[in-house]
Amino acid sequence: MAVVPSLIVLAATLTSMQLNDVLVRAESHARERPQQTLALYQQYNDSFGSVPTSVRFRWYFAAAQAAIFSNNFSQARDLIDSLLALGDSKTQQLSRSYNLLGIWLKKNHLLTDAEHAYQCAFTNESRPIYRAIYLNNMLIVARHRQSYQLAQSYYDRAAAILQVHPNDALSASLANNMGMLRLSLGDIKGAVGDFRKATFLKEQHNLALSQLNAAMNLTLALLLNEQSERGARLLADIDALVAQSADPDRRTLAAYLHAMLDKQQHQPVRHTEQHLRARYTQIKDDSLAQLVRYSADYLNLSLPARAVHQGESASASMQAALQRCQSANLNEHVHR
């Protein structure tokens, strides 16, 4: 993996301040620029061998996040194992570890285990906002499992927390996931309202990827609802954001959104059906693939089979961590 030349510093000469600077950069890039975080991890990991456990936790956590968002699930599994090996002396660290484990399990289609991991994160957490985050993640898993009533209950509980402890970024994510739930139930009008709320809230934060996701979801719902004028205005913004993104999956979804708009405006579709079908088969992100399927249904476009990531197996330490949590019979069960 290439290393950013400007960051080259001999490990032996790194001071505590330099290590902290590397750590902060790794954390800040983990979601939006994960390859940069992984480059930092490869270059500087040996330098973090003797730092305090709390610092090493942040280091492994950032690298594991980056590996997950890079779809490097094997490396992410090893990094999560490293996190779990640090022990559980701090409950907040334990809850974050379980949450990250849940994300990894969901990405690898182990949905029941993912829900258990989020439950473990929830029961080990006392901070209201983080509890709402974990309920939001459980909503996603429940929707994927088509447990729609359960998903609604997770939404209601998270929304109740945010009524008392407002947080715009989390409210945006929760609204977005509720919009996805409404799409699954065929409530297009309701989904438009949720996605509009998510888009408005995410515009208050300088997170290009989050803004792009929210805008794409809203545009899809608007076009499904035959609101082409509003969809067209958003598509112009989406094109600008997609141009800054190297993500081929979002470029594919943008192509489908343009095809929907072309159809509504009685214009020739700029991409052939063969081209659209071929792009669908290359999508890696399951959630984006689902959005493309909604678009394809609207276009009356039959889609071929897609090469689906079969998923990694959970490691022995992951399984042991889940077993420890479940057998501990913690004092608050998430379904209560």
pLDDT of 32 reads: 84
Map out the domains of the chain as residue ranges.
14-70, 206-310
> How far is the C-alpha of 297 from the C-alpha of 290, rounded, in Å?
11
Using alpha carbons, list the distances in angstroms from residue 305 to 150, 164, 280, 282, 324: 30, 45, 9, 10, 39
Query: What mean pLDDT is predicted for residues 217-237?
Result: 95
Predicted pLDDT of residue 204 = 59
Q: How far is CA 306 from CA 258, 283, 294, in A?
A: 21, 8, 15
Which residues, 6 or more positions from 159, have their beta carbon under 8 angstroms from its beta carbon?
174
Q: Does 238 have pLDDT greater than 70?
A: yes
Q: By three-state DSSP, how is residue 309 classified?
A: coil
Among 75-89, 97-111, 175-189, which stretch is predicted with the lowest mean pLDDT?
A: 75-89
State mean pLDDT over 287-309: 93
CA dihedral 80, 84, 89, 94 (to 10 degrees): 50
The mean pLDDT value for 179-191 works out to: 96
**φ, ψ dihedrals at 157, nearest 5°:** -70, -40
* pLDDT above 50: residue 1: no
Whole-number pLDDT of residue 331: 46
Q: List the end-to-end C-alpha distance of the chain, in Å, as a whole number.
A: 47
- pLDDT of 313 higher than 50: yes
Q: What is the mean pLDDT of the chain?
A: 90
Closest by CA to 184, choosing from 214, 153, 145, 211, is 145
Q: Say what percent of the chain tops pLDDT 90.
A: 75
Q: Please report the DSSP string for 228-287 in residue order.
A: HHHHHHHHHHHHHHHHT---HHHHHHHHHHHHHHHHHTT---SS-HHHHHHHHHT---HH
Q: Is the pLDDT of residue 13 over 70?
A: no
How many CA atoms lie less than 13 Å away from 108 in the CB half-sphere?
A: 20
Segments of the chain assigned E as strands: none
pLDDT one-digit tens code per residue, 272-281: 999 999 999 9
What per-residue confidence (pLDDT) applies to 5?
A: 41
Q: Of 147, 136, 143, which is closest to residue 171 (Cα–Cα)?
A: 136
pLDDT at position 333 over 90 = no
Per-residue pLDDT reduced to its tens digit, 117-175:
999 999 999 999 999 999 999 999 999 999 999 999 999 999 999 999 999 999 999 99
Residue 33 has pLDDT above 60, yes or no: yes
- Average pLDDT of the residues in 66-84: 95
Joined together, the tokens standing for residue 82 give 């490293």
Please give the pLDDT value at position 328. 74
Encoded amino acid at 118, one letter: Y
Query: Is the pLDDT reported for residue 2 higher than 80?
Result: no
pTM of the model: 0.87
Q: Is the pLDDT of residue 256 over 80?
A: yes
Amino acid 3: pLDDT: 45
